[in-house]
Amino acid sequence: MSSEGQAFIVFCVGMLALMGIGLNMALALVLTGAGMAWVLDFWDTQLLAQNLVAGVDSFALLAVPFFILAGELMNGGGISRRIIDMAQAWVGHIRGGLGYVAIGAAVMMAAMSGSALADTAALATILLPMMRQQGYPLGTSAGLVASGGIIAPIIPPSMPFVIYGVTTNTSISALFVSGIVPGLIMGAGLIVAWQLVLRDLDLKASQPLPLCERLRATVKAFWALLMPLIIIGGMKSGVFTPTEAAVVAAVYALVIAVFVHREMKLADLHGVLVRAGKTTAVVMFLCAGAQVASYMITLADLPGVLTGWLGPLVESPKLLMAVMMLVLVLIGTALDLTPTILIFAPVMLPIAVKAGIDPVYFGLMFVLNGAIGLITPPVGTVLNVVAGVGRLPLHQVIKGVNPFLVTYTLILALFVLFPQIVTAPVVWLR
């Protein structure tokens, strides 16, 4: 057997066996890479260490800690709360209004934050107690909040797009643009799904707030609403690059939190920095380990090997896309978004490109699919967050998320059948 074939076997066995037994994922990737290096006749421990560092040593990846930092500051400094308050003032009185509040706030916050977890945590912390108090069914509410939270990585800015762009060498700004319309469609899909769910619920409409109250809530949210304008406007007009947008978001959120809203003190900054640093380190250590494996994946030309096996499938882009999406859905049940990107994007993208699929479209679909994986059982980190914040048993949230999961799956299928929905707006918006 060729050394490439052996390397492929080592890769599969390494991934399944080492990760399956619960070894630290980053180190499982390192050992898989080491095994592949051995069979490829590329053995040298220096290469393992070098690539571990190289996986982190990238300017674009700095966006990751900056986005996490921005998310912490938004939640700690009252920015997220003001957005939710405003949505509440406008649509809270409608029957099932808190659901619409959750969806609207999720879409707005998605335009400021790059991380599903930060958004979900903020939405869940503020909205779930209100929903509980007004007699909303808790599982469904929690499911809706979780589903809203995963819009964050689709509408720019987005941390997973940054990681995807760096891993596969795809333009991060093009990926950002590609997410705008699909993100809005996700929001619209949730509204429809929520309406359908509402029919079976016993909820009352309440008195709308007087206009002055609504305007007051809007004015209070002024600085928060300015944030997406600054981030997206600044990127479009060339004040800063996508990577730098993340640090601008963090600095803006800090200034608003400390000096305008005065909900944080500079002394709180240490804790915020440490939390952001810890989260970053865990994500990036995985990036580091993945680089060791992906260095060897490239050397063994695994995508080339796989393309050979897929044969006729490569001739039909839509069918190939459907198959790959199905594989990703399965992967997404067990693996979170970041590891999915780091391990599978470098293998799958070259196959897609060979079949003539647009790399930016593929990136959007990949991240969208992976983001949906955050709310599929058994392993769904966003589900865990909602369950944790709402103090609900996980199975109740899993049940509640179902209608929205179906909606998202339909949207995903729609994008497979009609890629133009994704690709056409990219051309207009750039």
Provide the binding-site residues for Na ion, judged by CB under 5 A. 110, 152, 155, 158, 333, 373, 376, 379-380
Q: Are 171 and 132 in contact (CB under 8 A)?
A: no
* Residue 376's binding partner out of another protein, Na ion, none, with CB under 5 to 8 Å set by partner kind: Na ion
| Binding residue (CB under 8 A) for another protein from 219, 274, 323, 326 | 274
Q: Hunting for tokens 């997220």 — which residue is that?
A: 80
Instruction: Answer yes or no: are the C-beta atoms of 422 and 367 closer than 8 Å.
Output: no
Q: Select from 297, 290, 300, 298 the least CA-distant residue to 336.
A: 290
Per CB under 8 A, 47 contacts another protein: yes
| Closer to another protein by Cβ: residue 53 or 410 | 53
Q: Which residue is nearest to Na ion (CB)?
A: 376
| Comparison of 136 and 176: residue with beta carbon closer to another protein | 176
According to DSSP, residue 419 is labeled T
Nearer to another protein, 273 or 327 (CB): 273
Nearest to 194 by CA among 153, 136, 150, 152: 136
Residue nearer to Na ion on the CB measure, 107 or 355? 107
Determine, following the binding rule CB under 8 A, whether residue 413 of this chain makes contact with another protein. Answer: no
Alpha carbon distance 330, 313 (integer Å): 19
Contact 128, 141 (CB under 8 A): yes
Alpha-helical regions (H) of 335-430: 337-354, 359-373, 381-390, 394-417, 420-429
Judged by CB, which is closer to Na ion: 36, or 73?
Answer: 73
Q: What angle do CA 311, 312, 315 make, to 5 degrees?
A: 115
**Closest CB to another protein among 173 and 407?**
173
Q: Of residues 264, 352, 385, 416, which one binds another protein by CB under 8 A?
A: 385
Contact between 295 and another protein (CB under 8 A)? yes
- 288 lines the binding site for another protein (CB under 8 A): yes
Which residues in 138-177 belong to E strands, given as ranges? Answer: none
Helical residues (DSSP H) of 199-210, grouped into ranges: none
Which residues from 155-174 bind another protein, rule CB under 8 A? 159-160, 171-173
Q: Which does 58 bind (CB under 5 to 8 A by kind): another protein, Na ion, none?
A: another protein
Question: Can residue 31 be called a binding residue for another protein (CB under 8 A)?
Answer: yes
Residue in 7, 10, 34, 197 binding another protein, rule: CB under 8 A: 34
Contact between 244 and another protein by CB under 8 A: the answer reads yes
Distance in Å, CB of 28 to another protein, minimum: 8
Q: Residue from 140, 279, 376, 407 that binds another protein (CB under 8 A)?
A: 279
Query: Cα separations (Å) of 16 from 55, 212, 310?
Result: 22, 59, 21
Question: Given the complex with another protein, which of 58 and 396 has the nearer CB atom?
Answer: 58
Per CB under 8 A, which of residues 111..130 are in contact with another protein? 115-117
CA gap 122, 248 in Å, rounded: 21
54 interface partner picked from another protein, Na ion, none, CB below 5 to 8 A per type: another protein
265 binds another protein (CB under 8 A): no
Among residues 185, 206, 285, 221, which one has the least CA distance to residue 85? 221
**80 contacts another protein (rule: CB under 8 A):** no
Q: Is 329 in the site for another protein (CB under 8 A)?
A: no
User: 285 vs 362, which CB is nearer to another protein?
Assistant: 285
Question: Binds 278, which of Na ion, another protein, none (CB < 5 to 8 A, cut-off by type)?
Answer: another protein
- Cβ neighbours, 10 Å, residue 421: 15
Distances (CA, A) of 105 to 144, 201, 240, 243, 398: 12, 22, 26, 24, 22
Applying CB under 8 A, among 339, 350, 359, 390 the residue interacting with another protein is 339
Residue 27 CB partners (closer than 8 Å, separation 6+): 289
CB 227, CB 95: distance < 8 Å: no
- Binding segment for another protein (CB under 8 A), chosen from 16-24, 129-137, 140-148, 410-418, is 16-24
139 binds, among Na ion, another protein, none (CB under 5 to 8 A by kind): none
Q: Which of 12, 13, 281, 406 binds another protein (CB under 8 A)?
A: 281
Burial class (CB in 10 A: 0-12, 13-18, 19+), 224: buried
Q: Which CB sits closer to another protein, 21 or 212?
A: 21
Residue found under tokens 């900054």: 269
